Every structure is written in C-alpha cells, then in structure tokens.
C-alpha cells in the first residue's frame, strides 16, 4: 500500500521525519519496502522563464527559446511545444539531467543545425501526469532558478508498506497512523464525523436477501449534486497513493477506502430501476464491471441488484451501467459489511483483485460502517453540493465483542521478554484494547472493533512484544544434552547420501530437474498418475513417473550446446499412483570414453555403462549386488534387446539399459538407469570373522559352448554353485562367436578361483572339481570345449 | 711354467677385454677354465711336478684361475648392466603425454546445503524429518490454521491435483511436516525438514519448484529467545562467521503467533555479500511461536507445550553463501553450471572440517 507522508500527517501529528517513520513502521511489522520521494527524483529540474521565442530557421514547428534559468546568462533551447512563448514560466532541465518520462539523459545537441542546451518539460516528461500537449506552465510569480519539485510541494515521501493479511486495520492510512501513535511516534487525530442534517427520506428502498453474504447494508442519498473534478488536495493525495482521480464522487469513495479502509459504492439513482437488494446472484446473470470486463455470476456470489439488473459485485467491484458521471445529479452511497470468506471465494472465482476486495476480505471495522458512510457523504456534499437524505440502516454488521482472558506473565513465557505488567497494560490500551482486572490476577482484555485478528493470548503477546520492541528479545541457548551430539540420520537418509557420493565419485554430475513434466513425456515413460489442475504450462503439467524424462531433456540441452559426453544423475521422487518413491535416476549420453592416444577411437555409451553405474549405486545403497538377478528386457522406454531389470528375489531394485531409439532421438547413444532406493533392503551390515586362508589359491580356466540364448549370468551362477566351499570367485574372461563356434552357440571362457582352506589341493581334488563344474554347466546345455 | 702362466693371463685377459657379448665371454671362460681349458690343463699338469716345484708353481696357477673367474664374472655383470641400460633406454616413453581423462562428477549445491543443514542441526539435537510432496488440504493448510477462505491462502499460489481424493495439492511449504511430526509423536521435538515445495509462480527470482527447510522445536518452555539463539547459532556455522546480527521484525504467518520475519545483518563491500555487522539487512526467513490452534490441531495442549518453527529457502541460502544469481539455473542441469557451482564427491561437510568447501 502506498502511503504518502502528507496523507499520514492528516491523521498523525508528528515531528518524526520520513526515515524515523519508516523505521518505526518496519519495527511494528508494517514493513516499508521502499520510500519514493518525487522531489528527489526531480531534484535537478528548476523553474525557468522563457525570455524570447523565435522561429527555428530550418523547421516550422520548432522554436528557439532564450531561457532565463536564474543562473546568469540566458540559455538557448530548441523547443517543439506549441505553447512555448516569451514570458512563459516553466520547468527546465539542463544537460546531464535524466528525464524520467522519456528515460533520456539530456546532452547538448544540435537540432536541425541549431544548438540546444537543455529542455523545457511537459508534465508527462516528469511523470507527473499524462499531459503532453505542451510544456508545463507555472504562475508568473514562480521563483526562477528554484528547484521545481520542492516549490510545487512534491517533497512528499511515499512509503510502500507491505500490510500482512491479518492487519485489516492497516488497510487505511488512518489505521497506520493509529499504530504509529501507539508506538509513540505522534498524536493520533481522529476524524470528526459530522452530524448530518437530513433533508428528505432516502428515495431508494434497500433490502437484504442474503444476510450471510451481506449482514449490513447502510445507505444515504444525495440529491442535486454537481459532480466534477476533485479539488487539488484530494486529487494530489490519490495520485500520490497510486490512483487516478476520476471525479469528486468517485474520488471520495477511494479516499475513504485508502484513508480509512472503508470501501463504499456510489450509484447514479437515475440509472436504477426500483430499490437495491443484497442477494445471491442468479445463474446466468452477468455484470459489465467498472474495469470494462463482463463477469458471469453464480449463486455463491453476493450482489447488489435493482429490480432489473445486477449493479455491483458486493464488496468487489461496481457496474458500469449505474456508475456516476458528470451528468449525475442524484446518488445513493452504499456502506455495507460483506462476509470476508464469501468475498475471498468470489474474488478468487472471478479473478478480481480490487482495493475493495482486499479490505472486505480481511474484514472491515464493523463499528465504522455508519460513521464511514456519514464521513463520506459529508465530504461529497462539501465538494459537490446537494442535499443529504436520511440514513437507511438495514441489518447490522457482526459486532466484535471479544474479551480475551490474559495473564501478563504469558508474555515472558512465549517471548522470553520480561515486560512489566504496567507497561503491557499501557501498550494494549494505546492500541485500543480495554484492559480490566479479572479473576486470579488475570486480565480481561476487550478487543477493539478493528482488531478481529486478535483472537487469544498469543495475539496479545505479539501486540505487547511488537510495541515493546521485538529487537529486545535476547538469544537464549537451547538446552543441550550432555556429551557428543547423538546421530540422527535415518537409514534412508544415509543411503541417499552414499548413493549420491558414489555416483558423483564415478564421474556423474548431480542435477535437480522439475518434478512436473509434459503429459506426452510422461506417457513415454509409463504414464502420469497425477495431473495438475492448474499447471503453469503444458510442459509442467503432470507429476513425473520417472526421473529419466527430465534427465533426457537436460542431456539434449547440453548436447545441443556442444557437449560430447553427458553423465547426469538425480536423486528425487517418482510420483506413482501408490505413492512417492525415492529414486536415483542416471543418464549417460554421447561418448562413454573419449578418443585418446592411448585408448584409440571414442566409444559411445552402452547398456553396460548404465549397468555398471546402477550396480555401483546399488552397492553404495547396501544391496547384495552379488545376489542380484538380471531379467531381460526392461520397461518399454528402453531398447528391448539391451535393457533389463535387476532383481533381488522378486523385488525389482533397478532398471537399466540403452534408451529406446524412438526416445533417444537425435542424441543417438543414450544409456540410463533408475535405482529404486526404497526397495533396497536394509543392509545387515555385519561382517563375518576375519579368517584368511594360509593356503595359496588355485586358478583353473574352462571354456564352454553354450546356446546363444543362455544368459551368461546363469552359467556363472551354476559354476559358482558347483562347489560353494572351494570356489571363491568366478569370472567371465572371454566371450567369442565365429570360427570354430557352431551357429546359435557362443563360447564363454570362465576363470575359477579355488581357495583351499584345510589342506593343499591334490590332483584328485582338482579333477573332482573340474568334473563338478562340467556337470553343473552341462545342466544348462553347456559343453566343455576340447 | 712361470712363463706359461703369465702368457695365459695376458692372452685370456686380452680376449676377455675384447669380448663384447655374453657369448664371447663364455668362449673365453671355456677356453681358459672349461674342462679342456688352458688353465684347467695347467692345474691338471701340476700333479706331474715334484713336490718342491709344485709348491712353487701351484699357488700361481690357482691365483690365475681365481683371477680369471673373477674377471669373467665382472665382465658378465657389466655386459648385463649395459644390456639392461640399453633396453631401458629403448623403452623410453614421452612422459608428458596426457593421461586418459577420468570424468569428474559433482554434487548439486542444493544437496550440499541440505547436508550442511543436517550436519549443523544434528549437533543441536535436530533430526531430519520428511513428508510427502503431494499433500492433502488438511496438512498443508487447515491444520496450519489456514482455513479454506483465509486470505493467507492467496499468499500461496497453490498447485492443485486432479482426481481423487479431491483437495490434494503440491505442498506449498515444508510446514506440513511440522503437522506430521507433531501428530506422529510426542514432544519434546527438534526437527528440521528440508525438501521440495511448489508454488505457481515463475520469474527471475521465483520458480514453480524450489526448496525449503522447516525447523520445529516443541517443549515446555521454549520461547522466542531460543528461536533467536538457534538461528544465530545456525547462521554462524553455516556462513562460517564469528558473529551475526539478527533483526527480528513482527510479521504474520497463520501458523505462528507471535510471528517474526528475520533479517540478518550483512555488508555489500565491493558488491560482495559479507554476513555480519548491521550495515545492511537481508531478509532470510520467517518464523514464530507455533500457533496454539496448530498445537491443538495436532492434539497437543497449548497450555502444556509450546515452541517455535521457522521456514527458510534452501536455494536462497545456497545463493547467498555460494554466490549464484539466477534461481532458474538450479533446475536447468547445464553442465557448465553444475561443474562451476557443484561440489566434489568427497567434499563432505563435517563439523570438524567446517562448512566451507
């Protein structure tokens, strides 16, 4: 909210300067986000007199002005304004001045061959209005050479105050002044509500048919008004507060809204048919609102309507048809109290953020409905003349007769600040709370009508503390358990940390990508289970079922920037129908190994790069990787012949493979994996006793011919199982097809490490072992090569 | 005989000196010391001499044999050493050749900061709590004293989810984890809850997804002073400074009362942010005493239990500490950015090592 200092001073007698007021406001919780002072922005602009004006020799529409800037010799200025003439007193900008309205810093220039040393300015060029029909004309006696802004009374700091949603009372300048006065920054000057002399009964019948939406509808009529422009004091205040003056009647309603947080509406009686009723809108009804847009209304919304049509979305925005104009002579002024919840719902449904909504939604002062109406009507009458009708009060605003039982020691208990009871009482009373002694030394604190946000003792503590000074709260150490801090990380958190560092140590870069992706992207990776109702864009519309689409898109962007190799991983959640699952996703694209003098040509990534990374991640997560089984193929988004799932028993711990070419697209080689961290069983973590064998290990090699379709993993497992006590390790060291290997078969060479424990192996032991290995392999159709 | 010994020595030593290969050395050995060698023959002939003659000559022949054997041995070693040196010389490789590059991975700054948070707060006795990102309306709003028509909901720019159960949202803050923690266990409670949060907002300083950390302490006598100390202690450790100055300002959050906005004193000397002092202020987080209604909503009696909560942007903390300027880049996975701003795998933040990388 923009609060001009001059407006504030109408309600606060104070010696404090702008800096002190801004500091106090922020200390009170009314954060000042900025202070703008037009006088500072316009400081270099001075008052100057045009001494002479002659036709420019090269241009019909330009004149050469001799300008007295008050600084000695006359200055030559080329000017295109039609009103520029000898004797005119205006506003001058010297070279070097930044002119805000055209965002230009002036230089000495030659215009059509004639030097120009400055500029006479229009109102628009100084951002003081829209007028650009000519240069500013000041009174004859304006002091030449003086700073223009100060002379014009523009030295008026405007505070940009961020009012939090609870402070309905500070949605008007008066409320802010009240808080400042309570904080000792000056004396509050309350408005004088006049006793109006009613000349006639209110000619428009008023009724409430929706007493939930509009519990109170007060009104007065004015007849015989002349609606024209507001006087300068009012127009100035509104401009400084960021509003455009419209006409005196409208400006008064805005003055009441911004000044007292009391929105009003004014209807042109000539445009009404019959009485006004606050009622629920009927399906199909619309309103052509004052902002020029037409809104479709429904029965959840409270409107003000006459016998023919809706004229106001109650408490939010009025209608164009019954608005006042310069021809208006008779008006009805409405002051109502609308249900804040209903206002919020209607405002959200219609997408209207008006000043009125902002105030009614927070809850306007129920005790200021009638006084606000009378204050406004009196001001309208003062500005526009006419006669005032009797007031009509239909319904009543819900009174706030709230009394809070409060023990003053609560303040110390919650804030740690020891504020003497007498000071607490004084603070509350300065804020308008009425404090009475209650049972057991507690207080009975009556809440003022404008503070509906104060609901309980904690709220009173906040009031006391913010007035006493929140900055006086002293840091108090949290109690600390003796000894070293205990470990607090959960097994799942430790797993995530280990996996993250394992993958980074393998040369992968950690990414964080959006949790939401495009529907079509999700479709290719299993389909989305969760869709946003209100996504920011179609690209961010559904919750990702996989981490790979985000990583794939990222890889694409990086490759498009000229990267030859991308290795990314992310730790995050997949959002599935059954819940959110913590997952490590990794994606490799481009070169798995660059070309190099030592290793030769570059090698593109393949499924085994992804498998290696997945196994490393699983090992870091504590999975028993030696017991995992490979099930081919993986899900549909992978290459059907080059992908698989890794299972522990029947649980899928990970999937990996080369991405399906239809998804990899231009990227070509893309390998990826997802590791389902929450599926990894808790590691037992116990190591067996250390029992090194004193005997030398023995190595034996076997070469088998096996059917091409036989997974090598099965052969290795069978060999390892031939003698579990003796066989310590099995490795596949060659795989060969071609000369000497029949079609449909493949030669697999397996190295077996035997670790004797009790005694050195004899020839007979080795022969028996070889026979066992051959027999185990034979069960899979593997034949020992001769 | 004497003349023969001298002549043999001269001849064999000359041959040995001339020998350039192990084969040539072996030939000298065979000729001199072999079974039919000259020195061998001479030794054998000693048997035919009379005793006195033998006493005179034998030592000289023995000496010759030993001398030649030693010389042959030395020559053999010398040749072997020369051969090795020649081989090694031939094996020379340009050691300036570059090695096969190994890719350097990196840890994302957000993960880094989360680890720092966990480490610092663990020392203060805080556990790390987690909760779902797809939340129900009750946990995200209602339980936090934000009823359906409350204007504060408008502060949140909520993403809603389609389908059943209705009213599901992407959590707009990490505060629902407070609710889950308080409904799921009894005080005393000390937790932080870092994680992803979502708001339908997007510009240079707002992204629709970002990260927050929530802090919650519930006990019998926790007050604003404890909050201030906790935040000071955390910020000192996090930014690695001796002193910080905090400014608490009254503010409003529906789930705390009193509510405070916390600014940290800083300086901008030479355009660089320095934490400390009070030359300038940086708005860093929101906090307050947990609202009695929130405690009651979680089944805790506000007359018995009280405490504070705070919420802070993790991405913002990372930007302030590590100097990134554009929030959107955090989620773009640009390798140039990740390599520049990321952290090495083994740079693990620890209390003993400090929180600076």
- Candidates B124, B257, B329: best to mutate against A (most CBs of A within 10 A) is B257
Q: What percent of chain A has pLDDT over 70?
A: 100
Residue A243 and residue A371 in contact, taking contact as beta carbons nearer than 8 Å? no
A219 and A361, same structural domain?
A: yes
Find the largest Cα–Cα distance for chain A.
128
Does the structure show a pLDDT above 70 at B3?
no
Verify that A139 and A161 share a domain, yes or no: no
The dihedral region occupied by A583, where left means phi > 0, alpha psi between -120 and 50, and beta the remainder, is beta
Give the domain CATH number at A171: 3.30.56.10
- Looking at the fold, whether B267 and B155 belong to one and the same domain comes out as yes
Bridge partners of residue A200, in order along the sequence: A389
Q: Are residues A517 and A639 in the same domain?
A: yes
pLDDT of residue A252: 97
Do B40 and B114 sit in the same domain of this protein?
A: no
Answer yes or no: is A693 within a domain: no
Residues A466, A334, single domain; the answer is no
Q: In a mutagenesis test of the B interface, which of A476, A505, A565, A568 is the best target, namely the one with the most B β-carbons within 10 Å?
A: A476
Asked if B258 and A458 come within 8 Å (Cβ–Cβ), the reply is yes
What letter would DSSP give residue A595?
A: -
- The pLDDT, as a whole number, for residue A258 is 97
B330 lies in some domain = yes
**Does A16 share its domain with A74?**
no
Same domain? A32 vs A46: no
Average pLDDT on A661-689 reads 90
Has residue A193 been placed in a domain? no
A685: left (phi over 0), alpha (psi -120 to 50) or beta: left
Average pLDDT over residues A714-735: 95
d(CA A176, CA A172): 7
pLDDT tens, position by position, A229-286: 999 899 989 988 999 999 999 999 999 999 999 999 999 999 999 999 999 999 999 9
Domain count of the fold of chain A? 6
Q: Both A117 and A224 in a single domain?
A: no
Chain B residue numbers touching A513 (CB-CB < 8 A): 331, 333
Write out pLDDT tens, residues A461-515: 999 999 999 999 999 999 998 999 999 889 999 999 999 999 999 999 999 999 9
Residue B42: its pLDDT value, please?
A: 87
Calpha distance A128→A156 (Å, rounded): 13
Which chain A residues touch B190 with a CB distance below 8 Å? 478
Is residue A430 left, alpha or beta, with left meaning phi > 0 and alpha meaning psi from -120 to 50? Answer: alpha
Question: A375 with A190: CB under 8 angstroms?
Answer: no
**B355 pLDDT tier (thresholds 50, 70, 90):** confident
| Last residue in a domain, options A364, A395, A426 | A395
Residue of A nearest to B327 (CA): A512
| Number of residues written out for chain B | 357
A686 falls within a domain: no
Residue numbers of the domain that contains B19: 2-88
Q: How far, in Å, CA of B1 to CA of B10, rounded?
A: 14
pLDDT tens digit string along B180-239?
999 999 999 999 999 999 998 877 778 999 999 999 999 999 999 999 999 999 999 999
Going from the C-alpha of B245 to that of each of A597, B228, B235, the distances in angstroms are: 57, 10, 10
* pLDDT for residue B299 is more than 90: yes
In a domain, A557, yes or no: yes
Alpha helices in A130-260 (DSSP H): 148-151, 173-182, 232-240, 248-260
Nearest-by-Cβ selection for A415 from B126, B154, B258: B258
Cross-chain Cβ contact A540/B258 below 8 Å: no
CA distance B190 to B45: 105
| Pair A560, A427 in one domain | no
Alpha-carbon separation of residue B282 from B117, B227, B269, B278 (angstroms):
19, 18, 14, 10
Instruction: Measure in Å the smallest separation between the Cα of B85 and chain A Cα atoms.
Output: 26
Distance, in angstroms, between A4 CA and closest chain B CA?
A: 22
Of A711, A497, A527, A539, nearest in space to A636 by CA: A527
What are φ and ψ of residue A13, in 5° steps?
-85, 115
Distance from CA of A568 to the nearest CA of B (A): 8
* β pairing state of A403-406 and A509-510: unpaired
Name the β-bridge partners of A739: none
- Minimum-distance CB partner of B102 among A462, A470, A507: A507
In the predicted structure, residue A74 carries a pLDDT above the cut 90: no
For residue A301, the domain's CATH number is 3.50.40.10
Q: Are residues A382 and A410 in the same domain?
A: no
Do residue B274 and residue B325 come from a single domain?
yes
CA distance A627 to B13: 71
Set of chain B residues whose Cβ sits within 8 Å of the Cβ of A457 = 292
Please determine, for residue B151, whether its predicted confidence score (pLDDT) is greater than 70.
Answer: no
What total number of domains does chain B contain? Answer: 2
Q: Is the pLDDT of residue B155 over 80?
A: no
We report the CATH number of the domain holding residue A115 as 2.40.50.140
Same structural domain for residues A163 and A14? Answer: yes
Whole-number Å distance between alpha carbons of A94 and B217 = 61
Mind giving me the DSSP string for A256-305?
Answer: HHHHHS---EEEEGGG--S-EEEEEPPTT-EEEBTTS-EEE--TTSEEEE
A274 and A177 share one domain: no
Average pLDDT over residues B4-18: 90
Supply the angle between the helices B2-18 and B22-33 in degrees, to the nearest 10.
170
Residues A652 and A548 in one domain: yes
Residue A659: which CATH number?
3.30.930.10
The answer to whether the Cβ–Cβ distance between B208 and A571 falls below 8 Å is no
Looking at A151, A177, A211, the residue that finishes a domain is A151
Check CB contact under 8 Å for A29 and B252.
yes
**A361 → closest Cβ in B133, B151, B330:** B151
Residue A479 lies in a domain: no
| Domain-located, residue A328 | yes
Phi first, then psi, for residue B194 (nearest 5°) are -85, 150
Q: Considering only CA atoms, which of B6, B294, B352, B337 is closest in space to residue B177? A: B294
Q: Give residue-wise pLDDT tens across range A118-158.
A: 899 988 888 877 777 888 888 888 899 888 888 887 788 99
Q: How far is B57 from chain A (nearest CA, A)?
A: 57
Element (H, E) at B24: helix B22-33
pLDDT given at position A549: 97
Whether residues B133 and A513 touch (CB distance < 8 A) is answered with: no
Residue A182 CB neighbours (<10 A): 20
Quote the minimal CA–CA distance from A479 to chain B in Å: 9
By C-alpha distance, which of A552, A533, A553 is closest to A543? A533
Check residue B2 and give its pLDDT.
59
Q: Of A302, A370, A358, A362, which is closest to residue A334 (Cα–Cα)?
A: A370
Shared-domain flag, residues B84 and B159:
no
Q: What is the pLDDT of residue B152?
A: 67
Give dist(CA A146, CA A167) in Å, integer: 42
Q: Evaluate if residue A399 carries a pLDDT over 70.
A: yes
Closest CA to A379 of A171, A174, A172, A194: A194
Listed residue (B223, B231, B226) closest to B261, CA to CA: B231
Length of chain A: 786
* Segments forming the whole domain that contains residue A14: 2-37+156-188
More confident residue, B277 or B227: B227
Instruction: Report the mean per-residue pLDDT for chain A.
Output: 93
């Amino acid at each position: 909210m923009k609060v001009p200092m001059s407006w504030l001073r109408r309600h606060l007698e104070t010696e404090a300067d702008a800096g002190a007021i801004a500091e106090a406001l922020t200390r009170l919780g009314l954060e000042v986000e900025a202070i703008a002072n037009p006088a500072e922005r316009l400081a270099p602009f001075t008052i100057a007199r045009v001494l002479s004006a002659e036709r420019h020799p090269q241009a019909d529409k330009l004149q050469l002005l001799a300008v007295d800037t008050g600084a000695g010799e006359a200055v030559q200025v080329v000017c295109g304004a039609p009103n520029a003439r000898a004797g005119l007193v205006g506003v001058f900008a010297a070279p070097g001045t930044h002119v805000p309205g055209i965002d230009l810093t002036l230089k000495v220039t030659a215009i059509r061959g004639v030097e120009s040393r400055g500029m006479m300015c229009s109102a628009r060029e100084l951002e003081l209005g829209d007028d650009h029909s000519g240069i500013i004309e000041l009174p004859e006696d304006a002091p030449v050479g003086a700073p223009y802004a100060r002379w014009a009374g523009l030295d008026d700091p405007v505070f940009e105050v961020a009012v939090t949603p609870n402070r309905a009372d500070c949605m008007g300048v008066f409320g802010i002044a009240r808080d400042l006065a309570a904080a000792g920054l000056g004396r509050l000057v309350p408005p004088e509500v006049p006793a109006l002399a009613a000349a006639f009964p209110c000619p428009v019948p008023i009724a409430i048919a929706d007493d939930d939406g509009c519990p109170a509808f007060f009104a007065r009529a004015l007849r015989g008004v002349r609606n024209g422009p507001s006087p300068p004091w009012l127009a100035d205040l509104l401009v400084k507060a960021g509003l455009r003056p419209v006409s005196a009647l409208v400006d008064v309603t805005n003055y009441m809204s911004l000044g007292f947080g009391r929105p009003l509406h004014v209807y042109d009686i000539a445009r009404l048919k019959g009485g006004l009723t606050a009622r629920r809108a009927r399906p199909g009804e619309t309103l052509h609102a004052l902002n020029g847009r037409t809104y479709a209304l429904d029965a959840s919304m409270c409107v003000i309507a006459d016998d023919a049509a809706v004229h106001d979305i109650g408490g939010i925005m009025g209608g164009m048809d019954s608005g006042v104009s310069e021809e208006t002579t008779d008006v009805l002024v409405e002051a109502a109290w609308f249900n804040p919840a209903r206002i919020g719902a209607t405002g959200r449904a219609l997408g209207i953020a008006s000043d009125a909504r902002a105030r009614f939604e927070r809850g306007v002062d129920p005790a200021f409905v009638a006084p606000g109406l009378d204050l406004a009507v009196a001001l309208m009458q003062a500005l526009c003349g006419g006669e005032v009708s009797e007031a009509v009060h239909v319904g009543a605003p819900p009174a706030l007769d709230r009394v809070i039982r409060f023990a003053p020691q609560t303040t110390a208990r919650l804030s740690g600040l020891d504020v003497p009871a007498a000071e607490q009482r004084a603070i509350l009373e300065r804020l308008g709370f009425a404090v009475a002694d209650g049972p057991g030394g507690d207080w009975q604190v009556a809440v003022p009508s404008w503070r509906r946000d104060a609901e309980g003792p904690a709220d009173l503590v906040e009031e006391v503390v913010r007035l006493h000074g929140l900055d006086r709260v002293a840091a108090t150490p949290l109690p600390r358990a003796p000894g070293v801090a205990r470990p607090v990380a959960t097994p799942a958190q430790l797993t995530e940390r280990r996996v993250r560092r394992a993958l980074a140590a393998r040369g992968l870069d950690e990414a964080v990508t959006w949790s939401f992706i495009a529907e079509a992207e999700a479709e290719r990776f299993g389909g989305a289970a969760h869709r946003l109702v209100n996504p920011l864009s179609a690209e961010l519309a559904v919750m990702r079922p996989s981490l790979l689409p985000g990583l794939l898109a990222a890889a694409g962007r990086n490759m498009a920037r000229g990267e030859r190799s991308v290795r990314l991983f992310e730790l995050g959640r997949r959002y599935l129908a059954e819940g959110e699952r913590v997952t490590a996703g990794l994606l490799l694209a481009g070169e798995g190994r660059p070309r190099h003098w030592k290793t030769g040509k570059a090698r593109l990534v393949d499924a085994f790069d992804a498998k290696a990374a997945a196994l490393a991640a699983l090992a870091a997560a504590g999975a028993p990787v030696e017991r995992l089984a490979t099930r081919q193929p993986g899900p549909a988004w992978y290459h059907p012949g080059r992908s698989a799932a890794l299972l522990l028993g029947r649980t899928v711990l990970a999937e990996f493979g080369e991405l399906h070419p239809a998804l990899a697209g231009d990227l070509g080689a893309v390998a990826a994996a997802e590791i389902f961290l929450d599926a990894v069983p808790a590691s037992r973590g116990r190591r067996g006793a250390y029992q090194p064998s004193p005997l030398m290990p023995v190595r034996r090699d076997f070469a088998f011919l096996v059917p091409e379709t036989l997974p090598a993993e099965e052969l290795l497992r069978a060999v390892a199982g031939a003698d579990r006590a003796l066989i310590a390790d099995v490795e596949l060291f060659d795989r060969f097809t071609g000369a000497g290997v029949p079609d449909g078969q493949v030669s697999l060479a397996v190295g077996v490490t035997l670790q004797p424990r009790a005694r050195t192996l004899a020839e007979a032991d080795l022969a028996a072992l070889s026979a066992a290995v051959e027999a185990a392999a034979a069960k899979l159709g593997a034949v020992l090569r001769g | 005989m004497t003349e023969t010994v001298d002549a043999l020595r001269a001849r064999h030593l000359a041959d040995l000196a001339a020998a350039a290969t192990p084969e040539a050395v072996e030939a000298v050995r065979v000729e001199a010391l072999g079974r039919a060698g000259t020195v061998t023959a001479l030794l054998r002939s000693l048997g035919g001499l009379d005793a006195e003659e033998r006493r005179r000559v034998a030592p000289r022949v023995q000496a010759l044999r030993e001398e030649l054997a030693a010389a042959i041995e030395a020559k053999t070693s010398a040749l072997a050493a020369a051969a090795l040196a020649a081989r090694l010389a031939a094996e020379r490789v340009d050691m300036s050749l570059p090695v096969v590059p190994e890719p350097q991975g990196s840890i994302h700054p957000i993960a880094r900061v989360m680890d720092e948070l966990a480490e610092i707060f663990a020392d203060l006795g805080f556990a790390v709590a987690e909760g779902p990102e797809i939340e129900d309306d009750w946990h995200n709003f209602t339980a936090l004293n934000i009823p359906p028509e409350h204007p504060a909901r408008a502060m949140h720019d909520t993403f809603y989810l389609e389908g059943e159960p209705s009213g599901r949202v992407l959590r707009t803050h990490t505060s629902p984890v407070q609710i889950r923690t308080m409904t799921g266990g009894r005080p005393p409670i000390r937790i932080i809850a870092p994680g992803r949060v979502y708001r339908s907002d997007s510009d240079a300083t707002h992204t629709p997804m970002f990260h927050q950390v929530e802090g919650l302490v519930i006990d019998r006598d926790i007050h604003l002073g404890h909050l201030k100390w906790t935040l000071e202690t955390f910020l000192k450790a996090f930014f690695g400074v001796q002193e910080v100055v905090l400014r608490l300002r009254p503010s409003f959050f529906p789930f705390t009362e009193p509510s405070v906005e916390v600014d940290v004193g800083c300086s901008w000397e030479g355009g660089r942010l320095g934490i400390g002092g009070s030359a300038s202020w940086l708005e860093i987080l929101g906090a307050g005493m947990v609202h009695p209604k929130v405690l009651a909503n979680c089944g805790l009696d506000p007359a018995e239990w009280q405490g504070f909560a705070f919420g802070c942007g993790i991405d913002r903390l990372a930007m302030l500490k590590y100097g990134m300027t554009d929030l959107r880049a955090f989620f773009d996975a640009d390798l140039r950015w990740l390599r520049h701003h990321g952290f090495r795998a083994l740079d693990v933040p620890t209390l003993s090592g400090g929180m600076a990388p």
